[in-house]
């Protein structure tokens, strides 16, 4: 969905490793914090704005972290309105979609009235027909093979679903699979993993009732790389070289179950 939005709105993006970072006078990090990615930890940020739980071991000239907000896009709308700047249709559409996704259509618990107010403001400016196209385009054809792997691999135990997909072209497909399996009856936990680059990416979903996906991600994978998130949704990116695996041993669904169940 995110890539569809980027393509439809013609948003220019560059990969961080190809960007001449030192050519820029300011560095701003949105919807994340330096410990969330190893590549971020190497940079000194002037501004950090986020809505995830606060992490430690870093600093910036300006920090605005509101863990009680459902979406960073809501914060951005507030800044625009305070500055008297009316967003373009393209920007309003992106902000509208950002609030919609991060609040899960206003079903998440960690929302504020501010999210609703910001959403209502961009509602009248955004191209909502375009947003519907973002939402309907979840998968590319070549990604269907990952669904087949997931359905063949999925293992369940005590209301928990696990599946390791193997190497993936983008971690986004893991999110889509996790969200899909999270709709299955009797699954109160869903853990989906895949290998991207030199990392094991793990997507965690749960119903949030007496559960906390973010804490589970941190406890289970925090020693191997960036990990954390919210009560119902979390993500971990563990360096393969740090995982407790024997040399030459491949990561499997059974390995995912074994590591996760130690902390559940």
CB 8 within 8 A of CB 134: yes
Q: Residue 245 pLDDT more than 90? A: no
Give 12: exposed, middle or buried? Use CB within 10 Å, 0-12, 13-18, 19+: exposed
Mean pLDDT, rounded, of the chain:
92
Whose CA is closest to 57, among 69, 77, 40? 40
Q: Residue 234 pLDDT more than 70? A: yes
Taking only the tens place, the pLDDT of each residue in 215-227 is 999 999 999 999 9
109 — pLDDT class (breaks 50, 70, 90) = low
Q: Residue 122 pLDDT more than 80? A: yes
Q: Residue 162 pLDDT more than 90? A: yes
Whose CA is closest to 194, among 135, 122, 143, 126? 143
Q: Residue 163 pLDDT more than 70? A: yes
Distance of alpha carbon 213 from alpha carbon 218, whole angstroms? 9
Q: And the tokens for 33?
A: 């914090």
Taking only the tens place, the pLDDT of each residue in 173-183 is 999 999 999 99
Read off the pLDDT of each residue in 3-25 and give the average, rounded to a whole number. 89
Query: Contacts for 169-174 with beta carbons within 8 Å, 24 or more apart?
Result: 169/142, 169/143, 170/3, 170/196, 171/196, 171/201, 171/203, 172/2, 172/3, 173/139, 173/143, 173/146, 174/201, 174/203
pLDDT score for 209: 81
For the chain, the maximum distance between any two Cα atoms, rounded to a whole number of angstroms, is 58
The DSSP letter of residue 121 is: H
Q: Residue 3 pLDDT more than 70? A: yes
Q: How many CB atoms lie within 10 A of CB 51?
A: 24
Distance of alpha carbon 258 from alpha carbon 114, whole angstroms? 41
pLDDT score for 4: 83
Distance of alpha carbon 14 from alpha carbon 28, whole angstroms? 15
Read off the pLDDT of each residue in 7-12 and give the average, rounded to a whole number. 91
Q: Residue 253 pLDDT more than 90? A: yes
Taking only the tens place, the pLDDT of each residue in 64-91 is 999 999 999 999 999 999 999 999 999 9
Q: And the tokens for 49?
A: 């704005």
Q: Residue 111 pLDDT more than 80? A: no
Question: Which residues are CB-contacts of 127 (< 8 A; sequence separation ≥ 6)?
Answer: 89, 90, 93
Q: What percent of the chain has pLDDT over 90?
A: 71
Domains of the chain (ranges plus CATH)?
A: 2-135 (3.90.1640.10), 141-261 (3.10.310.40)
- 124-143 b/e with 16+ CB inside 10 Å = b? ebbbeebbeebeeeeeeeeb
Q: Residue 107 pLDDT more than 80? A: no
pLDDT score for 138: 66
Q: Which single residue is written with the structure tokens 């109160």?
A: 188
Read off the pLDDT of each residue in 189-208 and give the average, rounded to a whole number. 95
């Amino acid at each position: 969905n995110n890539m569809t939005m980027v393509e439809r709105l013609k948003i220019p993006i560059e990969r961080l490793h190809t960007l001449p970072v030192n050519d820029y006078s300011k560095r701003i990090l949105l919807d994340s914090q330096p410990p969330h990615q190893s590549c971020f930890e190497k940079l000194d940020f002037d501004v950090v704005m986020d809505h995830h739980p606060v992490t430690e071991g870093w600093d910036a000239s300006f920090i605005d972290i509101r863990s009680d907000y459902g979406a960073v896009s809501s914060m951005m709308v507030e800044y625009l309105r305070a500055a008297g700047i009316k967003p373009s249709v393209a920007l309003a559409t992106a902000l509208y979609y950002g609030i919609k996704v991060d609040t899960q259509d206003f079903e998440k618990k960690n929302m504020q009235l501010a999210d609703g107010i910001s959403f209502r403001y961009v509602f009248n400016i955004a191209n909502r027909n375009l947003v519907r196209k973002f939402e309907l385009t979840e998968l590319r054809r070549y990604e269907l093979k990952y669904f087949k792997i997931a359905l063949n691999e999925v293992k369940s135990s005590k209301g928990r679903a696990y599946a390791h997909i193997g190497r993936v072209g983008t971690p986004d497909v893991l999110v889509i699979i996790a969200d899909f399996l999270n709709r299955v009856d009797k699954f109160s936990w869903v853990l989906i993993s895949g290998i991207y680059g030199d990392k094991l990416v793990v997507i965690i979903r749960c119903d949030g009732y007496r559960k906390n996906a973010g804490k589970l991600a941190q406890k289970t994978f925090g020693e191997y790389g960036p990990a954390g998130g919210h009560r119902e949704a979390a993500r971990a990116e563990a360096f393969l070289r740090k995982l407790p695996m024997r040399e030459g041993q491949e990561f499997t669904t059974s390995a995912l179950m074994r590591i996760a169940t130690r902390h559940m």
